[in-house]
Amino acid sequence: MNATQLFEEIKKKKSFLCVGLDTVLEQVPEHLLKYKDPVLEFNKQIIDATKDLCVAYKPNTAFYEARGIKGWQSLIDTWKYIPEDVFTIADAKRGDIGNTSAMYADAFFNLEKSEMSFDAVTVAPYMGKDSVGPFLQYKDKWVILLALTSNPSHEDFQTLEGSSGKLYEEVIRVSAQWADNDQLMYVVGATRGKEFEHIRKLAPDNFLLVPGVGAQGGSLAEVCEYGLNTQCGLLVNSSRGIIYASKGLDFAEKAREEALKLQKEMEHILKNKGLI
C-alpha cells in the first residue's frame, strides 16, 4: 500500500487510527482460554470489532516473541487474519549490519520464507544507512524509523545537541535522502505533542507513526494541531487503551467503544482541517 492508497483508506474510514495488538496471554479474558490459541482468538475478536474504525494494526512483536514458537505462530496467524485493505505494521524495532538486516527484512516482509508479509516494520536508525538499506530493498514495503520516541528516557540520546542540531533531527534529515515518502515513515511519540510543529518542518511529507495516545497519556488534539499534512500524514496508535478496555466477556465490545471514540475525534479533526 503506498501513501496515496493509505490516504484513500483514511478518507474512506474517516480515521487514521492504528490499533496496537500487544496481546499478553495472562491478560486474555478467561472465557477464551478454552481455545487452542487464546491470543489468536482474542486478536481475531478485536480485529472483527475494530476493522471498520481503523486503517492499521500494529502487533508489537515482543509480545509474541516472548512466547517462543507458540507466540510466533500467533503472530503469523494474526497477520493472516487482518483484512487486506488494512495496513499492517510489525513493531519489531530491528536494525543490524547489512546481511543481518536482510534476514530481519525477510522475517517480516518475505511471505514465502516467513509466512508473513507486513506492509511496514519499525527500524532503529542507530547503525546507519547500511543497516536500513536491506529493508528498503523491498520496494513495496515501508520502513518506520524511530525518531522521537514516547518514553521519558528519549532524552538520554535523541535530544542531545550536536553541531547540526539534535540527534533525532539529524536522523530525519539524513535518512530522508535514503528513500522517498512512499517507503519511509518516522515514529514520533504522542507524548511529544509540542514538537510536532518542528517535526513537520523537517519531514513535511512523510507519514508519522504516533504511539502514546491512551495508556501513555498523549493528546490526540495536540498531535493533530501541527502533525497533519495534506495527505493526513499520521497513523495514531493506541494499544492497551483499546484492547484492554475490559477484561471480561464484553472485551471486544468495549474495545470497539474506545476505538470509536478515537475514530469520532479523528473524523472531527479531518473535517475541520478540510481533509475529508
Ligand X SMILES: O=c1ccn([C@@H]2O[C@H](COP(=O)(O)O)[C@@H](O)[C@H]2O)c(=O)[nH]1
CA distances from 217 to 120, 139, 210, 226, 250 (A): 25, 35, 12, 18, 24
Q: Which is nearer to ligand X, 193 or 241 (CB)?
A: 241
Residue 131 contacts ligand X per CB under 6 A: no
Whether the CB-CB separation of 125 and 162 falls below 8 Å is answered with: no
| Strand-pair category, 142-148 with 120-123 | parallel
Q: Which is nearer to ligand X, 150 or 175 (CB)?
A: 150
Q: Which of 12, 13, 51, 93 is catalytic?
A: 93
Residue 231 contacts ligand X per CB under 6 A: no
Q: Which is nearer to ligand X, 136 or 235 (CB)?
A: 235
Q: Which of residues 144-183 bind ligand X (CB under 6 A)?
A: 149-150
Closest separation between CB of residue 236 and ligand X, Å? Answer: 10
List alpha helices for the chain, DSSP H: 3-13, 38-50, 62-65, 68-81, 98-109, 111-114, 129-136, 167-175, 196-202, 220-227, 240-243, 251-272
Residue 23 contacts ligand X per CB under 6 A: no
Residue 215 contacts ligand X per CB under 6 A: yes
Please identify which residue in 29, 212, 227, 233 interacts with ligand X, judged by CB under 6 A. 212
Helix (H) or strand (E) holding 188: strand 184-188
Residue 9 contacts ligand X per CB under 6 A: no
Residue 56 phi/psi, 5-degree rounding, is -150, 150
Q: Please, which residues have CB within 8 angstroms of residue 269's CB and are 6 or more apart in sequence?
A: 220, 221, 224, 228
Residue whose CB is nearest to ligand X in the complex, by number: 149
Please identify which residue in 15, 43, 60, 114 interacts with ligand X, judged by CB under 6 A. 60
At 256, list the grid cell. Answer: 470497539
Identify whether 93 is a catalytic site residue.
yes
Please identify which residue in 168, 232, 241, 245 interacts with ligand X, judged by CB under 6 A. 241
Residues marked as catalytic: 93
Q: Under the rule (CB under 6 A), what is the footprint of ligand X? A: 20, 22, 60, 91, 149-150, 187, 189, 211-212, 214-216, 237-241
